[in-house]
Structure 1
């Protein structure tokens, strides 16, 4: 970015900086007006002032969306940095509040690992090994929330995220369990449930970004092996997934740590998938990789000791060795 444009950013109204940032990210002026809780004309006036300031269109309409010009692309990172600073300045914290805030870390995790990670973190908290943690479900805007400081870090399957985030491998999932209603006929028909047996019944899964949001490994396995599954569907919420198994006779997969929780849930039954089937499912010698995703070091609100302690708990919760 040129020094001239940097000086222009400094001269802009703070509100206009946020208008630029949100238009860049959300592509629609009306959506930006709703996010900022202002009228659409006010957003239009701010956009007009931005265009005059930088002597550039900044955003042009294409297929009902506002697309950034090269000048807007060049401004985005610096404007985001200004917005980040402003957000921090607008949240005054007293020493007492700061101490309390440091004791709670906000972490995003995939829904399919939520319960197991929560239980493992609770056990570690009871032992005094980690601070308090509030878990959030990973969703489409989680990476932005980590970058903007709304979340401290996340555990996810995605690895092609913003260049402003630090992504480190946490480990591979190493095993799965089959799960379904306790009165499902598959349990009595087979001593060991195999992948080909699952094709005889509806299959349900929770779609997770970077893992199975495009296609689930079981569906891909069926295609590659010439198998025709009865039906495969995806849902976005755990409640839908649970009721689908009870009311639709569907089967699904769980990690062992999740299965350990569901074995005590009424009307649900789980069985470990054979290791050879697990690795055949993924077509390789290891399962999907999970990543530890966080903002750059200078923006973190926790120290390396806290980070490693929590990462260690999560790693042991999700990385189950086959046996």
Structure 2
């Protein structure tokens, strides 16, 4: 039966072997390894015993590798280098060194606000990444599972499998957008008056496809809303809102600073219906990934910056 050359093998001994093979000299090897020559000699002795091979023979000026040592080096050197490099990346993470494709899925409200800001952040922080931003769809949770999409951004109250993990990045505050000059803007505080106007509601996959969330909220308070328009496309909703008396439910993530034809009445939504958590979603196997942790930080910072831009509007 052939001897198992892997069992009980100390990887540190292989590191000594590769350096010794490259230097062919005990003194120079010990200097590179920052250990004593007797320590190198002891490691070599253990290697000889493990492989039952001499590995090196003494020659004038140092050591010469045996044929077995040359074959061993051809196997060990590239793989050991890859192993130590990979292990070092567990504790070392530099976004500027990333060279890969990253796909981020954004729900429609997040797509409207975060896309450009994320592109700019990646150009600054990770310029060699090929970033793709896609719309969150009914396929996104499956794409997070199979790795086609690395991370997604969506509201919290959606159904997702146990294989998907989520991390809250913001608690958004609900509000309303209307056209400039809308009658609601004359009111000091708005809530019951919303039932006097049709709603322009955004279709958000896996969140409100079968219901209008704002209508459900108003119904709990004894009011019925007329559904005036529904669309997934944010630009279409803004266009309709800016030209009609419909009102559009929004959150404080909505990019108020971009739209001159849109205004924001002072809506007093009951506290239990006022807030919507925003989450990053990713596969559970990525939970401790430095890349995922960094992406969550970048997304959270971008969300906070966009909310701050809207704070005085």
TM-score interval, normalised by the smaller of the two chains: 0.5 to 0.7
Alignment partner for residue 114 of structure 1, among 95, 111, 115? Answer: 111
Does the 8 A contact of 1:201 with 1:231 survive in 2? no
Consecutive unaligned residues in structure 2, runs of 5 or more: 1-95
Q: Which runs of structure 2 are paired with 1:31-50 in the superposition (5 Å)?
A: none
Question: Equivalents in 2 of 1:132, 1:287: separation in Å?
Answer: 34
Q: State the match for 1:160 in structure 2.
A: 159
Q: State the match for 1:237 in structure 2.
A: 233
Deviation at 1:176, TM superposition (A): 3.5
Residue 250 of structure 1: SS of its match in structure 2? coil
Deviation at 1:227, TM superposition (A): 2.0
* Greater mean deviation of Cα atoms: 146-155 or 115-124: 115-124
Paired residues in the alignment total 214
Q: Which runs of structure 2 are paired with 1:16-35 in the superposition (5 Å)?
A: none
User: Normalising by the residue count of structure 1, what TM-score does the alignment of the two structures yield?
Assistant: 0.55
Q: State the match for 2:191 in structure 1.
A: 195
Q: State the match for 1:136 in structure 2.
A: 134
Question: Equivalents in 1 of 2:152, 2:258: separation in Å?
Answer: 24
Residue 223 of structure 1: SS of its match in structure 2? helix
**Closer/same/farther in 2, CA of residues 319 and 216 from structure 1, 3 Å limit:** farther
Residue 133 of structure 2: SS of its match in structure 1? strand
Question: Equivalents in 2 of 1:305, 1:225: separation in Å?
Answer: 41
1:145 paired to 2:104: no
Residue 197 of structure 1: SS of its match in structure 2? helix
Question: Equivalents in 1 of 2:258, 2:140: separation in Å?
Answer: 27
Deviation at 1:114, TM superposition (A): 1.5
Q: Deviations over 1:265-298 (max 9, x none)?
A: xxx2122644xx23x1x635x6122221112336
Deviation at 1:118, TM superposition (A): 2.1
Question: Equivalents in 2 of 1:169, 1:301: separation in Å?
Answer: 17
Deviation at 1:182, TM superposition (A): 2.4
Question: Equivalents in 2 of 1:231, 1:160: separation in Å?
Answer: 25
Q: Over the residues paired in the alignment, what is the CA RMSD in angstroms?
A: 3.6
Residue 179 of structure 1: SS of its match in structure 2? strand
Question: Equivalents in 2 of 1:291, 1:139: separation in Å?
Answer: 15
Question: Equivalents in 2 of 1:106, 1:319: separation in Å?
Answer: 23
Deviation at 1:215, TM superposition (A): 2.8
Q: Deviations over 1:72-96 (max 9, x none)?
A: xxxxxxxxxxxxxxxxxxxxxxxxx
Q: Which runs of structure 2 are paired with 1:1-323 in the superposition (5 Å)?
A: 102-125=99-122, 127-128=124-125, 133-157=131-155, 158-173=157-172, 175-187=173-185, 189-190=186-187, 192=188, 194-264=190-260, 268-271=261-264, 273-274=266-267, 277-278=268-269, 280=270, 283-284=272-273, 287-297=275-285, 303-304=291-292, 306-317=294-305
Q: State the match for 2:24 in structure 1.
A: none
Residue 160 of structure 1: SS of its match in structure 2? coil
Does the 8 A contact of 1:115 with 1:261 survive in 2? no
Residue 253 of structure 1: SS of its match in structure 2? strand
Q: Give the number of the structure whose alpha-carbon radius of gyration is greater.
A: 2
Question: Equivalents in 1 of 2:101, 2:121: separation in Å?
Answer: 14
Question: Equivalents in 2 of 1:273, 1:134: separation in Å?
Answer: 37
Question: Equivalents in 2 of 1:319, 1:242: separation in Å?
Answer: 18
